[in-house]
Structure 1
Amino acid sequence: MFQLILTACLAVSSAVCAPILLPAGEAASLDACKATAARISQAWLAERPTLTGGASTCLPVSDLPSLPLQQIAPGVFVYEGSPVQMEDTGDGRIANLAVVIGERSVAVIDSGVSRAQGQEFYAAIRGLTDLPVSHLILTHMHPDHVFGASVFREAGAQILGHAALPQALELRAQTYLDNIARLYPPATVLGTETVLAETTVEDRLEIDLGRRRLTLAAAPVAHTDNDLTVFDHETGTLFAGDLLFRDLTPILDGSLSGWLQWGDVPPDPMPRLVVPGHGPVAANWAQAVTPQQAFLKALEEETRAQIRDGIPMSSAVSQIVNRLEKMAEYWNAFPESAARNATAAYKELEWE
C-alpha cells in the first residue's frame, strides 16, 4: 500500500512546511499513486487558501512515521498518550486513541490533537490492515481527542459523536485551535482543522464492522455535556473516553454530580477491559473507576463544606485544593487541575 504525501507550507511563510498525508491518493501500487498525485494534491490545496503546495511523493506505509499501537485484545489496538496536561508536552499527544478491526471495516476511537498525529495514527492502522476505515467515533469535544479527524474524513470515515458534540465543539473550536497554535511549533499543527460529527447519538447506536458489533452510548452531563462511550461486544472492551482518567488528574468541564452518578452505576454488560481517555488500560471496571470516584467525592465533600461555611469562592478554591493535597501523589498535574476543578465544582454546587 502506497500513500500520497504532499509538502504543504503556510502561504504567509514558505519556511513553515509539513508533510501532509492525503488518504484520497492511497493506492496498491506506486504507479497508481503517482497517476493521481497532482490532481488530488491540487484539489486539496484549492480548499485551503492559507496553504501552498510544494512537491508530492508516494511512499510505502512502512516508510511513514506512525504511532506506536499496542494490542490489548484480538483486533483491538490502543495508542497510550502521555498522562500529563497539553502544556507539559511538545506536541499535545496526551489522549488515548484506539482502533477496532472487524471483518469488513475498521472503527477508530478519537483522532488526536493535530492533523500530524491523525496522519501517524492512520499510517499505523494501515500497517495493520488494508480494510476501509468506516467510522471515526469522537468521545467528546476536547482538542486532544478531535483535531486529527480531517485525515479520517478524507479516508471516507463516517464521523460520529454525542448529540451535543457538534454545537459544543463549534463554539470552542477557534479557541482550541488558537491555544494549540500558541503551545506548539507551527509545523507541528499545520493543516489542523475542525471536523464536526455528521452522525450523532442521542441515546445508543450500534455499528457493525463485519462480525464485530460496537455499541455507542451517550452519557448524561458528566466530564462534559457531550461524552460518549464505545463497547466492543467481541472482546468486552469499554472505551470510556474522558469519563475515566487514570494517572492524569480528572478535569471537570460538565457536572460534578452527574459525573459521580455516572461512575456509581456499573456498566451493563460489565467490561473485561477498560480503556480510559488518559492513562493505562485497566484490567477491570473497579480498577478503572475507584480512584477517580474517590477524588471526585472528596472534591464534592470539600466544596460543600466551604459553601456550607459561607466561604466565598475567591477564598474557597485554595482551601479546597489544600484539603485535597493528600491525593496529589496519585495524580499528575494536580495543583492546577485541582484548582480548576474546585472553581467549577463551587459554581455548580452553590446553586443547587
Structure 2
Amino acid sequence: MFHAILSACLAANPPTCAPMTLVAQPFATLADCKAQAPRIADTWLGDRPSLVQGGLSCAPLADLPALPVQAVAQGIHVHIGQIAQFEDSPDGWIANLGFVIGRDSIAVIDAGASRQQGQALFAAIRRISDKPISHLIVTHMHPDHAFGAEVFREAGAAVVGHARLGDALAARGPVYLDNLTDLYGPGPMIGTRVVLPDIEVADRLDIDLGGRILTLTATGPAHSDNDLTVRDSATGTLFAGDLVFRGLTPIVDGSLPGWLDWMAAGQTGGPIVPGHGPVAADWPQAVGAQREFLTVLAASTREAVAQGLPLSQAVPAIVAALQPFASDWASFPDSAARDATAAFKELEWE
C-alpha cells in the first residue's frame, strides 16, 4: 500500500515544514497515489489555513517512520515510551501506546504527544494488520497520550474517552499545545490539533472488535479527573493509562485519596500496561512501588497540615519525606515538588 506524504509548512522565512502522512486514503499502486494525492492534499490543507504545501510525494508503507512495538499478549501490541517527563525528553514521546486486534477491527489505546507520533504509531499498526481501525481510546487528557488523536480519526476511528475528557481537553488542550510548541519548537508539533471525543464513557462501555470485547471503565478523580481503563476480555490484559506509573515519578493531577482508593480495590487478570514504564505481569508488580510512594506522599502531607505549615514550608518538608524514593523514580525532583503542592492543596481541606 502507498500513502500520500504532504510536506506541510508554517508560513515563515525560512519555512518550517514537517511530513504529514495522509492516512485517510491508502492506495494499492504508486500510480493511483500520484494521480489522487494533489486532490487529497488540497482538501487536507483547506481545513488548516495556517499551513501551506511545501511538497508532495507518495511512499510505500515500508518507508514510513514507525514506532517500535512489542507483543504483550495475543493480538495486543505496545509501544513503550521514554521514561522521562516532558522537560527531560527530546520530543515528548514518553507515554506507552497500544493497540488490540480483533477479528473485525482494531482499537488503539492512546495516540501519542503529536501528530508525528500518531503517524508513527499508525505505520506500526499497518505493518502488522490492515484491518479497519474502529476506535481510538484516550485514557485521559494529558498530551503525551492524546495529541496524536487526529491521525486515527482521519483513518476512520471513533475517538472514545471519559465523560469528563472533552471538557478537560477543551479547557487545557490549547495551553498544553502552546507549552509543547515552546518546549520542542514548532516543527515537531506541526499539524497537531486538540481532538475532542466522539463517544463519552460515564461508567462502563463494551466495545466489540469481533470475537474480542474491550471493557472501558471510567474512574473517579485519581491521577486525573478523567481516567479511563481498558480491559481485554480475551487475555485479561489491562491498559491502566496513567493510573499506573512504573519508573517515572507518579504525577497527581486529580485526587491523591482517590488514586489510593483505586489501587486498594485491586485488579485481577493478565498483564497490566502502565501509562509509563514496563508492562507488569501482575497487580503487585504493577502498583507496589507506586502505592508506597503515594502513601508516603499522603502521610507526609497530612503531617505538614497538622503542623499548621503554610504551603511555602510544607512543600520542602513533604519533598524531604519523599527523598528516600529519589533514586527509584525518573524525573524525581520537579515531579516530587509538583506532587507535594497538589497534595497539600487537596488535603488541607479534608
What TM-score do the two structures reach when normalised by structure 1? Answer: 0.98
- SS of the equivalent of 2:260 reads helix
- SS of the equivalent of 1:4 reads strand
Q: Which residue of 2 aligns with 1:312?
A: 310
Q: What CA distance in whole angstroms lies between the structure 2 residues aligned with 1:65 and 1:14?
A: 25
Which runs of no fewer than 5 residues in structure 1 stay unpaired? none
Give the deviation of 1:14 after TM superposition. 5.0
Q: How does 1:264-303 map to 2 (within 5 A)?
A: 264-267=264-267, 270-303=268-301
The 8 Å contact of residues 25 and 36 in structure 1, kept in 2 or not, is answered as no
Q: What CA distance in whole angstroms lies between the structure 2 residues aligned with 1:257 and 1:214?
A: 27
Give CA deviations for 1:135-175 in whole Å, capped at 9, x if unaligned: 00000000101110111010010000000000011100111
Q: How many residues in Structure 1 have an aligned counterpart in Structure 2?
A: 350
Give the deviation of 1:90 after TM superposition. 1.0
Q: Which residue of 2 aligns with 1:176?
A: 176
- For 2:335, the aligned partner's letter is S
The 8 Å contact of residues 12 and 50 in structure 1, kept in 2 or not, is answered as no
Q: 2:333 aligns with which of 327, 335, 338?
A: 335
The 8 Å contact of residues 107 and 134 in structure 1, kept in 2 or not, is answered as yes
Percent identity between the two aligned chains: 56
Give the deviation of 1:33 after TM superposition. 2.1
The 8 Å contact of residues 223 and 242 in structure 1, kept in 2 or not, is answered as yes
Q: How does 1:74-85 map to 2 (within 5 A)?
A: 74-85=74-85
Give CA deviations for 1:54-80 in whole Å, capped at 9, x if unaligned: 322111110111000111111110000
Q: Which residue of 1 aligns with 2:101?
A: 101
Q: What CA distance in whole angstroms lies between the structure 1 residues aligned with 2:75 and 2:13?
A: 43
Q: What CA distance in whole angstroms lies between the structure 1 residues aligned with 2:177 and 2:266?
A: 36
Q: How does 1:118-133 map to 2 (within 5 A)?
A: 118-133=118-133
What TM-score do the two structures reach when normalised by structure 2? Answer: 0.98
- For 1:221, the aligned partner's letter is P
- Name segments (4+ residues, structure 1) moved above 4 Å: none
Give CA deviations for 1:253-301 in whole Å, capped at 9, x if unaligned: 000010000000012xx12100000000001011001111111110000
Q: Which residue of 2 aligns with 1:207?
A: 207
Q: Which residue of 2 aligns with 1:155?
A: 155
The 8 Å contact of residues 249 and 333 in structure 1, kept in 2 or not, is answered as yes
Confirm or deny that 1:70 pairs with 2:64: no
- For 2:26, the aligned partner's letter is E
Please give the root-mean-square deviation of Cα atoms over the aligned residues, in Å: 0.9
- SS of the equivalent of 1:216 reads strand
Give CA deviations for 1:288-334 in whole Å, capped at 9, x if unaligned: 01111111110000001111111111101001101110111111111
